[in-house]
Amino acid sequence: MSTARNVDELKGLLNPLAVYQEYVRLTKKGRRSTGLCPFHREKTPSFSVDSENGLFYCFGCHKGGDLIQFVQEVEGCSFPEALEILARKAGVSLSFSREAKGPAPDRKERLRKLLDGSAAFYHASLLSAPRSSSVWAYAKKRGITEEAAKALRLGFAPPEGGLLPHMRREGFQAEDGQEAGLLLERNRGEWAERFRNRLLFPILDVMGRTVGFGGRALGDEEPKYLNSPETPVFQKRDTLFGLNLTKAAVREREQALLVEGYMDFLAVYGAGVKNAAATLGTALADGQVRLLKRYAKEVVLNFDRDQAGLAAAQRAIQLLLAEGMRVKVVVLPEGKDPDEFIALKGGSAYIELVEGAQPFFRFLVDREAKVLEGGSVEARMAFLDGLAIYLSAVPDPIERQAYANEVASWARLGGDVNLILKRLAKAVPGDKRVEPQAASPVTVPVTEQMLVKGYLAFPEAAERLLSDLPEESLKNMAVAPLLDSLRKRRAPDGPEQTSLLAFIQNSFHEVPSEASLEAAVAQAKGAYLHKRELTIQRQLQEASRRKDFELVKILQREKTALVEQIHSLEGA
């Protein structure tokens, strides 16, 4: 593996837009790409990336900076961690951060390395197992081909174990294995491997790092499914199975199919649904919804039809609506889960059902069809009140009203539609969501912004023009420290200046031409001269009041020169 010796070398190896795209859906508009900000809730894009220098800025929440600051912010990690993440994306190792950090590598990084090595161990043990063995027999029964097993790096935990000696050979301690959730301490110093005689599904985070395993028993042993416990690198509520594989397809379609568990994921992925992801057998959580929202606008739910599955779907609908996402629901006939349905009817029949998925409220209404058909007025009102809970989760009032209208017509409630809407509206509280408080906007005069943009575009011409500006005029600008760094061919001085540069680079003024740059400089100069004239005027009055005629003479000469300069500037 090649190495990057410093931050600039690392940055040079990355395509910044591609990195941003992993977190934000971006649309290209000239040299800027815009999208929905990952840092605050919004409906119209205020997040912008300058494709030339890779700086980002959000005009909604005013976060801005370079790629490293972005990764720190979005991953919630430290500067060295962000460098590690970016190095992995670039496929290089860092020769500098390790020195800076001393000999002990970061704890999380060590756990991830161990988990990755364990995944390789389990995968090799699956591939070397005879095809006639029980693990392959089980895989075959579940429709898992060798090709799929390789693509998903499935593993086999042998009944006799073997991970611990493997770990030790790789330089890890048993305690590392315990922290990674792979080993259990039976008695003091006596270790047992968590996974034995199971087919293993490595669980990867969205960055493609192994964070844990899901293990399926090969026979009727209990528990049927055994997952890694939560560890410093694995939180179920922030992880979706398979999304690391499918995020590009999810982003492209702006839609994700969400299923329960890795077996269902394998089945739908194998059936040709490339935009799927799975929860890990737990209820959908906030962190998972935010993860989905990075890539999709719409989520199609396909949960089990048993009581637990229905409850999970209802909760998921509310969470997704609350994040402003559109929600559809697939209902499989005969109470099958996706895995069973595909085995029975085939992949294309399944895809057809996914494509015909219904908006969430139709699913809810249909569930109550019996109540609505033969029910009493009270039952209907109770139904409407129940539905209002979902509608109240929709953050946008207009969208909420549109849903209410559709509910009224889909449910064929009859009677006065307005009365029904009133009932819904009464149960739906007002807009209780509070938009995150935006920081005070950066207020840099447009002329100064143009100077910076112009400087980046035509450094030579800009240098010539700037040298024509009085030193004092430059010094008083909000962009003075930034211009100073640029003129010295240095990176902006600290995160605040980087953020300012990002703001300017992403602002909606286009790059100036040399002529408009000249005009901007002239304007800056004019503003300075006028200010200077006012100061001299005040000094003149003061001097004549004190009858200091010597000073009056000097000031008058200066004023005349100034006025001439102003005239020649304005006449030009």
40 near Zn ion, judged by CB under 5 A: yes
Q: How far is the CB of 437 from Zn ion (least distance, A)?
A: 12
- Give 73 or 146: the residue with its C-beta nearer to Zn ion: 73
CB of 442 to Zn ion, least distance (A): 13
CA 132 to chain centre: 44
Indicate whether 60 belongs to the interface with Zn ion (CB under 5 A).
Answer: yes
CB 299, min distance to Zn ion, A = 22
Smallest distance, Å, CB 37 to Zn ion? 3
Q: Detail the DSSP E strand segments found in 261-417.
A: 276-279, 298-302, 326-329, 358-359
Q: What are phi and psi of 211, to 5 degrees?
A: -120, -15
Name the one range near Zn ion by CB under 5 A: 38-46, 240-248, 369-377, 432-440: 38-46
Q: Three-state SS string across 176-240, please? A: HHHHCCCEEEEECCEEEECCCCEEEEEEECCCCCEEEEEEEECCCCCCCEEECCCECCECHHHCC
Closest CA to 199 of 243, 164, 250, 148: 148
The one segment of 49-57, 59-67, 232-240, 279-287 that binds Zn ion by CB under 5 A: 59-67
Choices 58-66, 282-290, 451-459, 551-559; region in contact with Zn ion by CB under 5 A:
58-66
Binding range to Zn ion, per CB under 5 A, among 31-39, 163-171, 370-378, 423-431: 31-39
Instruction: Verify binding: residue 49, Zn ion, rule CB under 5 A.
Output: no
Q: Are 60 and 290 in contact (CB under 8 A)?
A: no
Question: Cβ 284 to Zn ion, closest distance in Å?
Answer: 24
For residues 97 and 498, which CB has a smaller minimum distance to Zn ion in the complex? 498
Reduced to 3 states, what is the DSSP secondary structure of residue 255? strand
Beta carbon of residue 48, minimum distance to Zn ion (angstroms, whole number): 10
Closer to Zn ion by CB, 25 or 236: give it: 25
Among 4, 10, 19, 58, binds Zn ion (CB under 5 A): 58
Give min distance, CB of 205 to Zn ion, in A.
Answer: 23
The reply to whether omega before 223 is within 30° of 0 (cis) is yes
Complex with Zn ion: residue 314 or 498, whichever CB lies closer: 498
As a residue count, the chain comes to 572
Q: Which stretch binds Zn ion (CB under 5 A): 40-48, 151-159, 197-205, 373-381?
A: 40-48
Task: Please tell me whether residue 70 adopts helix, strand or coil conformation.
Answer: helix
Q: For Zn ion, which is the closer residue by CB, 59 or 265?
A: 59
For Zn ion, the binding residues in 61-120 under the rule CB under 5 A are 61
Pick between residue 8 and residue 435 the one whose CB is nearest to Zn ion: 435
Report the 10 Å Cβ neighbour count for 337: 20
Q: Does 529 bind Zn ion (CB under 5 A)?
A: no
- Nearer to Zn ion by Cβ, of 45 and 492: the residue is 45
d(CA 411, CA 529): 71
Which residue's CB is nearer to Zn ion, number 37 or number 83?
37
**Can you tell me the distance from the alpha carbon of 271 to that of 220, in angstroms, rounded to the nearest whole number?**
26
| Residue (171 or 436) nearer to Zn ion, CB | 436
Beta partners for residue 259, in sequence order: 278, 302
**Which residue's CB is nearer to Zn ion, number 62 or number 274?**
62
Q: Are 46 and 37 in contact (CB under 8 A)?
A: yes
**CB nearer to Zn ion: pick between 60 and 177:** 60
CB of 555 to Zn ion, least distance (A): 50
Nearer to Zn ion, 60 or 214 (CB): 60
Q: Are strands 255-260 and 276-279 parallel, antiparallel or unpaired?
A: parallel
Report in angstroms how near the CB of residue 35 gets to Zn ion at its nearest.
10
Query: What's the rounded Cα separation, in Å, for the pair 168 and 145?
Result: 32
Shortest distance (Å) from residue 44 CB to Zn ion: 11
Q: Which stretch binds Zn ion (CB under 5 A): 56-64, 129-137, 175-183, 191-199?
A: 56-64
Name the minimum Å distance from CB 506 to Zn ion.
12
Q: How many residues bind Zn ion (CB under 5 A)?
A: 6
**Residue 41 found at the interface with Zn ion (CB under 5 A):** no
> How far apart, in whole angstroms, are the C-alpha atoms of residue 304 and residue 514?
63
Helix 514-545 / helix 446-457 crossing angle, nearest 10 deg: 140
Q: Please tell me whether residue 37 binds Zn ion under the rule CB under 5 A.
A: yes
- Specify whether the CB–CB gap between 211 and 235 falls below 8 A: no
The first and second tokens of residue 533, run together, are 């004239």
Q: What is the dihedral of CA 61, 66, 67, 69, to 10 degrees?
A: -60
| Cα 159 from Cα 450, distance rounded (Å) | 68
Binding Zn ion by CB under 5 A: which of 39, 79, 138, 225?
Answer: 39
Q: Write out the residues near Zn ion by the rule CB under 5 A.
A: 37, 39-40, 58, 60-61
